[in-house]
């Protein structure tokens, strides 16, 4: 498992390993690094030499950019601060290749880049659900791997502690969009951590959860946890860990008794507040709402 350093993660506002339905994220084998909503620049999360840029096919969505792009970088592991958590004989860092998506490249093959350098401009491709914010997608491949196919990246571990936020399910709507609302709770102040520390929504057991709950079918944990541990949220079972993965059980997310698509979960160092995915909603800023979880025979699942 490759460990991404805090110095890199701290350049971004939020991150998630599991909040995506696409196979590149299976088993936490990719990380999405979110920027401020008004920042169009894609900063490189690695240092090295650009190997290749290419345009790739993406689903056709009316709200999306026409093209998606793949940027491959031959990684300088030392300059990127990458650690290897595993058998030293299997260390892939010599020849490691980074796969970066959602960037209209402003670099070419042969260009040298350092962590934090601009790679180009962020794009919202057809791989984005309409409620997903702009981000850089990052995965890593060994030198002898296929660098173009979606599956096959190495597991990634963020080298930060994500402090857990408890939540009783209530909150006030502070932001609305066509497909989601954001609540004011839980707030990062509830964790009692510094302004640049990462926080995330915790299960009832105090384990930080990550992913689309439960519209993507599976998620994961951002806290140390034993495999096979049961996890609940708002008093209901939501899954059992398989390593750090969490296949969600069958349940609905309700807001004031009305079923919604789900919750978007992540780690954040800038503010917090629960993001409720609810296309076609009628909520308004200032509404006080209550979220609940109930077992379901027909849960919402998105491909």
Per-domain residue ranges for the chain?
2-158, 162-295
Question: Could you give the CA distance from residue 273 to residue 263 in angstroms, rounded to a whole number?
Answer: 11
Which pLDDT does position 72 carry in this prediction? 98
The DSSP code for 179 is S
Contact 50, 73 (CB under 8 A): yes
Which pLDDT does position 74 carry in this prediction? 98
Q: Is the CATH number 1.20.120.1630 carried by domain 2-158?
A: no
Task: Give, for all 303 residues of the chain, the pLDDT tens digit.
Answer: 999 999 999 999 999 999 998 888 999 999 999 998 888 999 999 999 999 999 988 888 888 788 899 999 999 999 999 999 999 999 999 999 999 999 999 999 999 999 999 999 999 988 888 899 999 999 999 999 999 998 899 999 999 999 999 999 999 999 999 999 999 999 988 888 888 899 999 999 999 999 999 999 999 999 999 999 999 999 999 999 999 999 999 999 999 999 999 999 999 998 899 999 999 999 999 999 999 999 999 999 996
Can you read off the two tokens belonging to residue 68?
């998606």
Q: Which among 46, 48, 52, 50 is positioned nearest to 31, based on CA atoms? A: 46
User: What is residue 27's three-state secondary structure?
Assistant: helix
Which pLDDT does position 189 carry in this prediction? 84
Which pLDDT does position 192 carry in this prediction? 83
Contacts of residue 149, Cβ cutoff 8 Å, sequence gap at least 6: none
Residue with tokens 């690695």, as numbered in its chain: 46
Question: Could you give the CA distance from residue 96 to residue 110 in angstroms, rounded to a whole number?
Answer: 16
Contact 252, 296 (CB under 8 A): yes
As a residue count, the chain comes to 303
Which pLDDT does position 126 carry in this prediction? 84
Helical segments of 24-144, H only: 77-80
């Amino acid at each position: 498992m490759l460990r991404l350093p805090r110095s890199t993660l701290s350049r971004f506002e939020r991150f998630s390993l599991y909040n995506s339905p696409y196979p590149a994220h299976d088993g936490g084998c990719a990380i999405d690094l979110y920027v401020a909503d008004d920042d169009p620049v894609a900063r490189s999360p690695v240092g090295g030499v650009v190997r290749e840029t290419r345009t790739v096919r993406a689903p056709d969505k009316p709200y999306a950019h026409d093209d998606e792009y793949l940027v491959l970088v031959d990684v300088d592991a030392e300059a990127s601060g990458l650690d290897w958590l595993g058998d030293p004989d299997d260390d892939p860092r010599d020849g490691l290749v980074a796969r970066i998506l959602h960037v209209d490249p402003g670099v070419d093959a042969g260009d040298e880049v350092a962590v934090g350098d601009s790679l180009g401009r962020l794009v919202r491709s057809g791989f984005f659900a309409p409620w997903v914010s702009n981000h850089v997608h990052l995965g890593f491949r060994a030198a002898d791997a296929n660098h173009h196919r979606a599956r096959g990246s190495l597991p990634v571990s963020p080298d930060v502690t994500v402090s857990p936020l408890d939540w009783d399910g209530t909150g006030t709507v502070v932001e609305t969009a066509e497909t989601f609302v954001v609540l004011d709770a839980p707030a990062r102040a509830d964790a009692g951590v510094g302004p640049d520390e990462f926080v995330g929504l915790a299960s009832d057991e105090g384990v930080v959860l990550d992913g689309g709950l439960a519209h993507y079918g599976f998620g994961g944990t951002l806290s140390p946890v034993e495999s096979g541990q049961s996890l609940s949220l708002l008093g209901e079972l939501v899954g059992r860990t398989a390593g750090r993965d969490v296949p969600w059980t069958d349940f609905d997310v309700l807001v004031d008794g009305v079923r919604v698509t789900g919750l978007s979960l992540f780690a954040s160092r800038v503010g917090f507040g629960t993001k409720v995915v609810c296309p076609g909603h009628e909520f308004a800023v200032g509404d006080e709402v209550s979220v609940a979880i109930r077992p379901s025979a027909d849960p919402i699942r998105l491909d």
